Amino acid sequence: MSVRKLKPITPGQRFRVVNGFDTITTDKPEKSLTAPNKRSGGRNNSGKMTMRYTGGGHKAQYRIIDFKRDKNGIPATVKSIEYDPNRTAFIALVFYADGEKRYVIAQNGLKVGQIIVSGEGATPDIGNAMLLSKIPLGTTISCIELHPGQGAVIARSAGSFAQLMAREGKYAIVKMPSGETRMILLTCMATIGVVSNSDHQLLVSGKAGRSRWLGRRPRTRPVVMNPVDHPMGGGEGKSSGGHPRSRNGIPAKGFKTRSKTKASNKYILERRKK
């Protein structure tokens, strides 16, 4: 993976850093695995805006991703590594031995022609999906389930990974991307390797219009709003503000919002570092 700095032939390209896309092998998605992706513009079913700063953006077809990796023991051949406009990671189109095609999240180092397997007979190689009970300790993993059969929910974005630290009873102890250490059932699946496109964090958009193409509208600072619009609004001239907080009054910057009685608290051994 690499990034490219563009020649500043326009103002928007002066600081622009783009993805090299050197691992991408095709620019056409598999038609049978795409679905319409209708944009809501941040409105709910009655037309009321419930999410601000959302709207516009380029049309994008949704790629149906196999997060469950439930075709156990059937080898699959990687046919292509593709860009997905709906996520930061790249995706891989795989052809199973029984003829089925699926998209999976691509890991760093996954190559076209490589064979990947999931389930009992899998070995701890890049791209293979295994139960946490079968993965060697210390292995770097991604696309982790939180409940058996749920499908991957943890470490799915570009460059993210977790580490399998230990096993105790029926739980595996996993160090999360955030630094949190938590217990997950051994019967949950995870994929070996780091999620692809790890250079994503180095990209520079170069201009505001590129955010509009992604469906993000300009965000207004709360301190310049009126008191009716935000707790931090109001005041004469620049003398406004107060303590940083959200629109409904919840303080930011250090205020813990997680419930002390949340059921999953007992599975968290060490909280993330501030």
Nearest alpha carbon to residue 128 among 195, 193, 63: 193
Let me know: does 57 contact 214? Beta carbons within 8 Å: yes
For 210, list phi and psi in degrees, rounded to 5.
-70, -30
Distance in angstroms (rounded) separating the CA atoms of residues 239 and 241: 7
- Measured CA to CA, the distance from residue 92 to residue 27 in angstroms comes to 12
Query: Residue 126 carries which side chain, given as an amino acid letter?
Result: I
Q: What is the CATH number of domain 220-268?
A: 4.10.950.10
Contact predicate 118/128, CB 8 Å: yes
Per-residue pLDDT reduced to its tens digit, 207-229: 999 999 999 999 999 999 999 99
Domain boundaries, the chain: 3-201, 220-268
Q: What is the pLDDT of residue 242?
A: 86
Considering the segment(s) 3-201 as one domain, its CATH architecture is: Beta Barrel (2.40)
Q: Give the Cα separation of 215 and 54 in Å (integer).
A: 6
Looking at residue 196, what is its pLDDT? Answer: 96
In the three-class reduction of DSSP (H, G, I as helix; E, B as strand; rest coil), residue 264 is classed as: helix
pLDDT value, residue 121: 85
Classify strands 17-19 and 140-142 as parallel, antiparallel or unpaired: unpaired
Q: What pLDDT is recorded for position 274?
A: 67
The residue ranges of the chain whose pLDDT is under 50 are none
Give the residues across from 20 on adjacent strands.
none
| Residue in 67, 77, 61 with CA at minimum distance from that of residue 28 | 61
Give the pLDDT of residue 229: 92
